Structure formats: C-alpha cells, structure tokens
C-alpha cells in the first residue's frame, strides 16, 4: 500500500478503471482485510504486568526492529547520541510538547546513530516513566559499551560524572557542557574574563574541560581530544578554535541534517527504514543488482520480495 498510494482504504479494492489494483481483490477481500486490521495486536493483554508499561502494546514489535538494527550492521567507531521527535499531534500519554523545537508535538526518541551515515544503531522511546538520565544513557549506549567507541553528544547528556563512568566502560565522549554539570568554580570565573578567541581549560586524567569564547562562551567536555587549537576556514577568514569543538561540529553536522530530514520527510524516511529491516531479514543484505553492480531501489527489492512470497509453492 505504501508503493501505490490511494486516498482511502476502500480505493485499493475499487473496480473503477482509474483506481483498480487487481492484485488486492485476488489475494483477499476488503472486509477480510479490515477484520484482520481491526483485530491486529502485537502483544497479549492477558500477560500485562502491573503497573503496565506505556509501550506494552507495541513492545514486541519495537524489540524486533531494534534487534534487527543492532545485528544487520556494525557501525564505525564514531557515534552520535541525540534526540529525534516523531511528529504526532494526536492524543497519546507519552507525547511530548516542546515549543522551542522545530517539531513541537510528538514522540521523543533517543537514538544512537553512526555519525558518517546516520544509520540508527539503537533507540529508546521516551515513555515518561521516571528513568534517570544516566540510566537512559547507559541503556541506549548498552550495545556499544566496553568496545572503545567515541560518542558525540550535546550538553543535555554530558557531565563530569557521566564522562567518568563511560570512560570506565571504555566509551569516550565529546560534546558541549553545561556549567552546572561539574565545571570547576575557578574555570567558571576565568570564563567570564575571556576575550574573543581565547580559551581556558582544566584536565583531570583523561577528562578535558575546555572553554572557548566566540560570540559567546562554548564549554566542552572530551575524553577523546587534547587541548590543541586548529585553524578553521570561515566566510571572512580563518579562526583558531579548540580541536574538540572543530571535530564535534563536523561529526554532528550530518546528524543535525539527518534530523531535519526526518522532520520534513518523516513518512517516507520511516517507511524506508522499516523496509530496510524487512529486506535484511529476508536475505537482501546488499540491495545490489548482480548484473549492473548498482544499488537497487527499495521499490525493486520489495517487488522481488512480494512476488517471491505470493507465488512460491506451499
């Protein structure tokens, strides 16, 4: 149905020459399809725990999708931990409202993505069940702990305590930093006197806290970089900035663009992601045409898969 759009469900079974799709009527009647659709459940209500989790109804399906994303591809060593919002304005207990965001209403999803491709390696839907922030970070990064990954994340997730814990689990981080998350008082005072282009820093073992003033003071925490400065080209010339800020901007630039694409093209993107999981599970790991060696489109792969499943011998 996603490949042949119609205005309403009944149009897929229409006999109108302009709308007719013969395959639907041959496979199943519309009433039969609606009966299955209305009765479709992803979990057994009789085994609901008390109190019931807010994602209980879809948890088995969500677990399958997340497990597929973990197993079909191993991301490179640079990851990004960030938030995305699935647009939704309907009634839902876990819907979040953030007037300052581009997408104000929707489901908040914390995602771990590969920084070079945007591939989602793990995700967790925020369900407003009182989970502490550090527990959330450890849960989302769970598949990548003790494997020497580098994770780039914004100031919502960063603190000195988090950096220390993740360092003990062989995960190094880099990202912006809030002054109330462990910034030393003397460094905080020194930041007030910084002039444009100046930097101040403190180091505790492998943990680097570095502040740099541009139009305003940018505070960074990193267990990846040293305190060196690099030249960066801007519109009106070169400027010197800390290495950790330069690399953080490069790594997160793609992820930010990817988040905007999710907002603008959510239906298409989410459909394609779902199809990718499906195709991988049915043996389409490369999506490559064996003759031309070029990438097949998702439409082509789905056409092959659907035809194979519909007409195979019982």
- Give the pLDDT confidence score for residue 84 in this predicted structure: 83
pLDDT < 50 regions, the chain: 262-271, 273, 280-287, 293, 295
Regarding pTM above 0.75, the answer is: no
Phi, psi values for residue 192, rounded to 5°: -65, -25
- Give the pLDDT confidence score for residue 278 in this predicted structure: 52
How many CA atoms within 13 Å lie on the side-chain side of 294? Answer: 5
- Give the pLDDT confidence score for residue 172 in this predicted structure: 96
> Which runs of consecutive H residues, i.e. helices, occur in the chain?
22-27, 30-38, 59-71, 133-140, 160-168, 185-192, 243-264, 266-281, 298-311
- Give the pLDDT confidence score for residue 293 in this predicted structure: 47
Between CA 217 and CA 241 the distance in angstroms is 12
Q: How many angstroms from the chain centroid is the CA of residue 145? A: 17
Name every residue whose Cβ is closer than 8 Å to that of residue 145 and which is 6 or more positions away in sequence. Answer: 138, 166, 169, 170, 171
pLDDT digits (tens, 9 = 90+) for 190-235: 999 999 999 999 999 999 999 999 989 999 999 999 999 999 888 8
- Give the pLDDT confidence score for residue 228 in this predicted structure: 93
- Give the pLDDT confidence score for residue 302 in this predicted structure: 64
- Give the pLDDT confidence score for residue 245 in this predicted structure: 93
Between CA 297 and CA 289 the distance in angstroms is 10
CB 176 within 8 A of CB 154: yes
Between CA 101 and CA 108 the distance in angstroms is 11
Between CA 95 and CA 193 the distance in angstroms is 42
pLDDT digits (tens, 9 = 90+) for 16-39: 887 888 888 888 899 999 998 888
Cα distance between the two ends of the chain: 24
* Structure token digits, residue 205: 């073992």
- Give the pLDDT confidence score for residue 166 in this predicted structure: 95
Between CA 176 and CA 221 the distance in angstroms is 6
* Structure token digits, residue 212: 């740099």
């Amino acid at each position: 149905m996603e490949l042949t759009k119609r205005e309403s469900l009944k149009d897929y079974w229409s006999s109108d020459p302009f709308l007719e799709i013969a395959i639907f009527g041959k496979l199943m009647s519309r009433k039969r399809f609606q009966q299955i659709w209305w009765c479709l459940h992803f979990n057994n209500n009789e085994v609901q725990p008390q109190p019931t989790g807010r994602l209980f109804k879809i948890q088995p399906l969500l677990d399958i999708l997340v497990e597929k994303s973990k197993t079909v591809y191993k991301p490179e060593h640079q990851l990004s931990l960030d938030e995305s919002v699935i647009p939704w304005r309907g009634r839902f207990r876990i819907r979040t409202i953030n007037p300052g965001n581009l997408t104000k209403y929707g489901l908040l999803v914390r995602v771990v993505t590969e920084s070079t491709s945007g591939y989602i390696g793990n995700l967790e839907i925020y369900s407003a069940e009182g989970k502490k922030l550090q527990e959330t970070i450890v849960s989302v990064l769970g598949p990548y702990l003790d494997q020497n990954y580098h994770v780039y994340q914004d100031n919502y997730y960063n603190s000195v305590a988090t950096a220390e814990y993740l360092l003990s689990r062989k995960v190094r981080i880099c990202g912006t930093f809030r002054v109330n998350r462990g910034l030393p008082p003397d460094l905080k005072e020194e930041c007030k006197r910084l002039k444009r282009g100046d930097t101040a820093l403190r180091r505790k073992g492998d943990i680097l806290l570095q502040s740099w003033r541009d139009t305003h003071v940018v505070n960074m925490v990193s267990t990846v970089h040293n305190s060196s400065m690099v030249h960066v080209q801007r519109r009106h010339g070169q400027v010197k900035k800390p290495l950790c800020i330069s690399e953080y901007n490069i790594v997160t630039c793609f992820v930010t663009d990817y988040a905007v694409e999710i907002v603008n093209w959510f239906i298409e993107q989410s459909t394609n992601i779902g199809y990718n999981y499906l195709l991988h599970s049915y043996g389409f790991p490369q999506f490559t045409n064996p003759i031309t060696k070029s990438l097949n489109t998702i439409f082509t792969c789905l056409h092959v898969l659907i035809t194979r499943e519909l007409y195979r011998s019982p």
